Amino acid sequence: MRIVVPFSADRPKTRLGKVLTPDERREFAAAMLADVLAALGGVDRDLDVTVLATGPVEVEASVVVDDRPLTTAVNDRLDTAPTAVVMADLALATPDALEALLDSDADLAIAAGLGGGTNAFLARDPAFHVDYHGASYRDHLAIAREEGISVREVDSRRLAVDIDEPADLTEVLLHGDGAARDWLVDAGFELDVGGGRVEAVRE
Amino acid sequence: MRIVVPFSADRPKTRLGKVLTPDERREFAAAMLADVLAALGGVDRDLDVTVLATGPVEVEASVVVDDRPLTTAVNDRLDTAPTAVVMADLALATPDALEALLDSDADLAIAAGLGGGTNAFLARDPAFHVDYHGASYRDHLAIAREEGISVREVDSRRLAVDIDEPADLTEVLLHGDGAARDWLVDAGFELDVGGGRVEAVRE
C-alpha cells in the first residue's frame, strides 16, 4: 500500500515559534517525522512509504521533493488507489492506531485532527481529492459525499493530536515514547502538574 | 453493567468563565450531561446508569447526591465490579466510542483526556481505585501496575475531548450533534475558519 507523508522541510512548525527557535523547530519536526516513520514501520503490512517534502530532507525513507502547495502536491498522488496520507507531526501515532485506518475497507477512511484538520486518510477510490484549506475535515467529508464514496471516520486520539501549538507539547510529554519526546526532554521541557490541565513548561 | 457519571451541579465548568456566565455554564453543562446520557442510551448493552452529582439535578437518569470530593465519591462506588465511570462533559461521545471501552475484557479499560486527565474507564477488578488530582491518567496506569491488574488503553478522540476550556468549544461545533452543540449555536457561537486551527467565536 502506498503511503505519502507530507513534510515541510523549509519552515516547519511556525506556530511553535513562541517556544522554539527556527533551528529547534527544524530539529523537532525531523524528530516527529522519524516517529511517524517508525510507527508506519511497525504496521503489520507491506507499506511503500514516501516522504513528500517541500525541500531536501535526510530521512530513512524515499523522499520526493515537491515545493507546490500541500493540496496540489497531495492531489497529484491520489490518482493511484489505494493511497494513504499521514501527516508528519503525529508524534503520538502508533502502529495500532495506523492499522485501524489502514485496515478499513471504506472508499475513504479518515481521521480528524483537533481543530478541524485532517490528520490521516486512506483513499481506496481515486475520485477522492483533498482541500487542506480551512476546516479540511468537514470539507473532505463533503467531497466524499459529492463523489458518492463510502466513508469510515476513524476515532483515534493518537491520530487526532497533531503537534502545532505549544499546548500540544504536553501531549508529547504525556504520551510520546519516541524521538520527539526525547528531543523535548533534552531541550528542557517538562510537565507542570498544577491546576486544570497539565502543561509543558521549559526550565 | 454499572455506569457512574460524575457531575458538578453547583459550579460547573469554571474554566469556561471567560466566555459563559455562571447560568450559561450550568445550562451548557446540563446539555453535555444529556448528550453523554444519550450516548450511553445508544450502547447495545444493558446499562445501569447513575449520575453522581454534587447537588440536586434534574435529569433523565437516577441521581445520587454526594458532595464529597470527586476522588472520594468515585472510589466509594468502585467496590462493585464491573463499574464504568464516564465524565459528564464528553460532548462528542458516541455509542460506538463507549462500546470500545465497555467491550474490553481487561481488568481496567481506560481512555485518556487531553491534558493528562482520565475521561472514562471500566474497572472489572475492585482493586482499582482513582486519584483524580493532577495528571490522573498516568497515576491511574501506575495504580493498575501496582495492583497487578491488566490494562487496555482505549484510543478515542471522541472520549479524549472533554469540554473544559474555550478552545474545546470548537470541537463541539465541529463534531457534536446533540444538545451541547445546539446550545452553543443558540448562544451565538460559530466556527471561525481563519488561519491555523478553526476557532469558536461568539457573535
Give B6-62 pLDDT, tens digit per residue: 999 988 899 999 999 999 999 999 999 999 999 999 999 999 999 999 999 999 899
The predicted model gives B62-77 an average pLDDT of 96
Whether residue A200 is contained in a domain is answered as: no
DSSP annotation string for chain B? -EEEEEE--SS--GGGTTTS-HHHHHHHHHHHHHHHHHHHHTSSS--EEEEEESS----SSEEEE--S-HHHHHHTT-SSSSEEEE-TT-TT--HHHHHHHHT--SSEEEEEPTTS-EEEEEESSTT-----SSSHHHHHHHHHHHHT--EEE---HHHH----SGGGHHHHHHH--SHHHHHHHHTTEEEE--SSS-EEEE-
Closest Cβ–Cβ partner in A157, A160, A193 for B135? A193
Which pLDDT value is given to residue A11? 84
Whether residue B173 is contained in a domain is answered as: no
**By the CB < 8 Å criterion, does A87 face chain B?**
no
Q: How far apart are CA B160 and CA B169, in angstroms?
A: 14
**By the CB < 8 Å criterion, does B41 face chain A?**
no
Closest CA to A195 of B136, B87, B161, B53: B136
The predicted model gives B74-92 an average pLDDT of 97
Residue count (chain A): 203
Contacts of B114 in chain A (CB under 8 A): 114, 157, 161, 171, 197
SS3 at position A99: helix
What does residue A44 show for φ and ψ, rounded to 5 degrees?
-85, 65
Whose cell is 493530536? That residue is: A161
Contacts of A156 in chain B (CB under 8 A): 155-157
CATH number assigned to the domain comprising residue B31:
3.90.550.10
Whether residue B185 is contained in a domain is answered as: no
pLDDT by residue, tens only, chain A of 203 residues: 999 999 999 888 999 999 999 999 999 999 999 999 999 999 999 999 999 999 999 998 999 999 999 999 999 999 999 999 999 999 999 999 999 999 999 999 999 999 999 999 999 999 999 999 888 999 999 999 999 999 999 999 999 999 999 999 999 999 999 999 999 999 999 998 876 677 778 76
Whether residue B112 is contained in a domain is answered as: yes
**What is the number of domains present in chain A?**
1
Whether residue B202 is contained in a domain is answered as: no
Angle at which helices B22-41 and B95-102 cross, to 10°? 70
Residue of B133, B197, B199 to mutate when probing chain A, most A C-beta within 10 A: B197
Sign of the C-alpha dihedral computed for residues B51, B57, B58 and B62 taken in this order? positive
ipTM value greater than 0.90 = yes
Residue type for B133, please?
H
Residue range(s) defining the domain that contains residue A64: 2-164
Q: Least CA distance to A169: which residue of chain B?
A: B115
CA distance A174 to chain B (A): 7
SS3 at position A60: coil
Whether residue A181 is contained in a domain is answered as: no
pLDDT at B201 over 90: no
pLDDT bracket for residue B203 (50, 70, 90):
low
